[in-house]
Chain A
Amino acid sequence: MIYDKSLSRRVFLILNYFILLLISLLCILPFINLLAVSFSSSAAVSAGSVTFWPVEFTTKAYEFALTGGSFFSSLWVAIQRTVIGTLVNLVLIVLTAYPLSKSKQKLMGRNIYMGFFIVTMLFSGGLIPTYLVVVKMGLIDSIWSLILPGALPVFSMIILMNFIRGLPEEIEESAIIDGAGPVQVLLRILLPLLKPALATVGLFSIVAHWNSWFDGIIYMNNPANYPLQSYLQTLLQSFEQIMLKSGSDYTQLLSMMNARTGRAAQMFLGAIPILLVYPFLQKYFTKGLVLGSVKG
């Protein structure tokens, strides 16, 4: 590119940096404000004097968040759900994408299988019939109710299928000539090649499982089984009640923290895991977008 150094160009560039900075700050200042609120005393927060730095620093809200309520037990449910759910997703994605990457001639009824999966992307039975099926399967209050209904993410499967089709066919053919069957080809030849694509769709699954809250609310009758995001969701409505139930000296606690600082602390704790893996996420998600646009 060729760049001019005229005055108008310079004015534009300065303005441009200013606008970009302003918009970018709009995206992170709320988080910094939340962090400051979570470390401030309740009096300072109610007075509206907290901006981006804690006022009357206290860690009471975090002490409460980690002891009162069921933060740790729901964190554990969320970890189990994310690990098992992602593994189930990945196994099914691979087992489905590999056969479907074959042509019609090599896999009888390929288009019928494909249609079977795609219909579920377009049309669904909706909330209530799905809920009734989960009830009938006896999965209420079981972690499997959060994993099995979405066991095969069809969109991720299509991404992987297109990725496999993009690999040179000769690799597979030479393995078959050497006497390998489909299972050996998949495990020994394809899996190592699929690593980057699996990382991408795996991260889609991790984020989806970690961030889901609604299925936890409807499929778990006992709040003790809520995954973290479902538990945090209940806090949005009723933090005061949880504080009352905690049994510690309420008046003393109230002087240092209130529903706002407590909620801020828990929200921040809930966001930390995703923020920690964020640098990896961004890299793979950007790649995933490019992968997703591969034409089938």
Chain B
Amino acid sequence: MLRKWKQQRAYHLMLIPSLVLVFIFSYIPFYGLIIAFQKYNPGLGFNSPWVGWDNFAHIFNQPNFVRTIWNTLYMSVFKIIGGIIVPVIFALLLNEVLHSGIKRTFQTLVYIPNFLSWVIMAGIMLDILSSDGIINTFLGVFGIAPISFLGTPSIFPWTMIVSDIWKGFGFGTVVYLAALTSIDPGLYEAAVIDGAKRWKQTIYITLPLLMPTIVLMTVLSLGNVLNAGFDQIYNLYSPVVYQTGDIIDTYVYRLGIQQAQYSIGTAVGLFKSIISSVLVAVSYILAYRVAGYRIF
């Protein structure tokens, strides 16, 4: 045992820096979650008075909060659906292009927005969506009155959904193209001999073989259903659209940090964190069972 330890000592020593840092910045905050059950007072710190489940009762009695959950689910479900369909279709269309240079050019162009932060993207969107921005100027050509994409509660969620898909579909395209290139060409040759045209080949060969990747990507995005995109929404929303645009994360930030209601904010965060971690765990298990994909 002692000799074994001696051999291994170097490995354990190497792990120490990571263990210490992860402990401080990831595990100590778990302890901080107790303030969700206290009436937190910065002067008293973690010795603040206990209130049990009062903070949770308080948030669930707020009509705002239920609305926030609904907004979160609404936007993230459509983002997930669009975020699967658009790259699959784009990858299928791109796969029909035989000239590899042209193919790569298209792929490169749609991949660019992935690397820019939502701050930069929000700057671009604020500009192109403004009342005298290029999109409304373009719509004006057809006699359409300027649309306030970011200031109309009924339109705001769809602006978020479409722009999120726009920013992210290049990434999915690369994943699906990688899956498409691994399909055995012999299958298509056999199908042609059987008289199948391109469309039939797509329906009966390409799509079924793409299915495992589609299932995997869908399952993995399930774990994110309560993250409707804080970076994006925080940078683009305004009090006018809180009603339809406020999500759990933006709500926690406004309540917890801006209004300094630490206990209430933490309670909302804890509620979200528990549901999210269950969803992530379930989606990882599903990914393994359904698609045979192991993350660790």
B83 beta carbon closer than 8 Å to chain A: no
B65 beta carbon closer than 8 Å to chain A: no
For residue B257, which residues in chain A have a CB less than 8 angstroms away from its CB? 127-128, 131, 218
- A95 and B13 CA atoms in complex are apart in Å by 9
B15→A123 contact, CB < 8 A = no
Docked complex: B70-128 residues within 8 A CB-CB of A = 90, 93-94, 96-98, 105-106, 108-113, 115-117, 119-120, 122-128
- A133 and B30 CA atoms in complex are apart in Å by 10
In the complex, what residue of chain B is closest to A158 when comparing beta carbons?
Answer: B296
B265→A92 contact, CB < 8 A = no
In the complex, what residue of chain B is closest to A203 when comparing beta carbons?
Answer: B115
B15 → A minimal CB distance (Å):
5
Docked complex: A250-296 residues within 8 A CB-CB of B = 260, 263-264, 266-267, 270-271, 274-275, 278, 281-282, 285-286, 289-290, 293, 295-296
A7 beta carbon closer than 8 Å to chain B: no
A28 beta carbon closer than 8 Å to chain B: yes
A274→B116 contact, CB < 8 A = yes
For residue A213, which residues in chain B have a CB less than 8 angstroms away from its CB? 117, 119, 231
For residue B27, which residues in chain A have a CB less than 8 angstroms away from its CB? 120
Give B1-37 as 1s and 0s: 1 = Cβ < 8 Å from A's Cβ atoms.
0001100101110110111011011111111110100
**Complex partner residue of B252 from A16, A114, A127, CB under 8 angstroms:** A127
Query: Given A20-B106, A124-B26, are A181 and B270 also a contact pair (CB < 8 Å)?
Result: no
Query: Given A118-B296, A126-B33, are A92 and B10 also a contact pair (CB < 8 Å)?
Result: no
Query: Given A26-B166, A181-B10, A295-B294, are A148 and B269 also a contact pair (CB < 8 Å)?
Result: no
Give A123-156 as 1s and 0s: 1 = Cβ < 8 Å from B's Cβ atoms.
1111111111110010000000000111110000
- A69 and B205 CA atoms in complex are apart in Å by 57
For residue B28, which residues in chain A have a CB less than 8 angstroms away from its CB? 125, 129, 133
B115→A274 contact, CB < 8 A = yes
- A186 and B175 CA atoms in complex are apart in Å by 32
- A287 and B274 CA atoms in complex are apart in Å by 33
Query: Given A34-B127, A127-B256, A229-B119, are A27 and B22 also a contact pair (CB < 8 Å)?
Result: no
B188 beta carbon closer than 8 Å to chain A: yes
**Complex partner residue of A114 from B11, B32, B189, B296, CB under 8 angstroms:** B296
A207→B128 contact, CB < 8 A = no
Count of interface residues, chain B, beta-carbon cutoff 8 Å: 92
Docked complex: A188-228 residues within 8 A CB-CB of B = 207, 210-214, 218
For residue B229, which residues in chain A have a CB less than 8 angstroms away from its CB? none
In the complex, what residue of chain B is closest to A108 when comparing beta carbons?
Answer: B8
For residue B174, which residues in chain A have a CB less than 8 angstroms away from its CB? 285-286, 289
B219 → A minimal CB distance (Å):
14
- A227 and B24 CA atoms in complex are apart in Å by 24
Count of interface residues, chain A, beta-carbon cutoff 8 Å: 103
A207→B115 contact, CB < 8 A = yes
**Complex partner residue of B93 from A19, A123, A125, A285, CB under 8 angstroms:** A19
A-B residue pair count with CB separations less than 8 angstroms: 259
B37 → A minimal CB distance (Å):
12
- A112 and B151 CA atoms in complex are apart in Å by 50
**Complex partner residue of A108 from B4, B25, B93, B120, CB under 8 angstroms:** B4
Q: Give the most central of A1, A134, A186: most B CB within 10 Å.
A: A1
Query: Given A117-B22, A271-B116, are A125 and B294 also a contact pair (CB < 8 Å)?
Result: no
B44 beta carbon closer than 8 Å to chain A: no
B242 → A minimal CB distance (Å):
16
Query: Given A118-B296, A183-B10, are A290 and B26 also a contact pair (CB < 8 Å)?
Result: no
A138 → B minimal CB distance (Å):
12
- A269 and B249 CA atoms in complex are apart in Å by 29
A33→B296 contact, CB < 8 A = no
Query: Given A34-B124, A122-B281, A211-B117, are A99 and B231 also a contact pair (CB < 8 Å)?
Result: no
For residue B11, which residues in chain A have a CB less than 8 angstroms away from its CB? 98-99, 102, 106-107, 182
Docked complex: B120-173 residues within 8 A CB-CB of A = 120, 122-128, 130, 132-134, 136-137, 140, 166, 170
Closest 6 CB pairs of A and B: A125-B29, A129-B32, A126-B269, A211-B117, A267-B123, A99-B11
Q: A98-B11, A128-B266, A236-B119 are in contact. List 17 more A-B contacts (CB 8 A).
A: A2-B192, A21-B106, A34-B123, A51-B134, A96-B15, A123-B30, A125-B29, A126-B269, A126-B270, A132-B35, A148-B25, A149-B25, A151-B25, A236-B122, A286-B178, A289-B174, A289-B175
Q: Can you identify 23 A-B contacts, CB atoms within 8 angstroms?
A: A9-B198, A20-B94, A20-B97, A20-B106, A30-B128, A45-B132, A95-B17, A96-B15, A99-B14, A100-B15, A106-B11, A108-B12, A113-B19, A114-B296, A119-B26, A124-B273, A132-B35, A148-B25, A151-B25, A211-B117, A232-B119, A235-B123, A285-B174
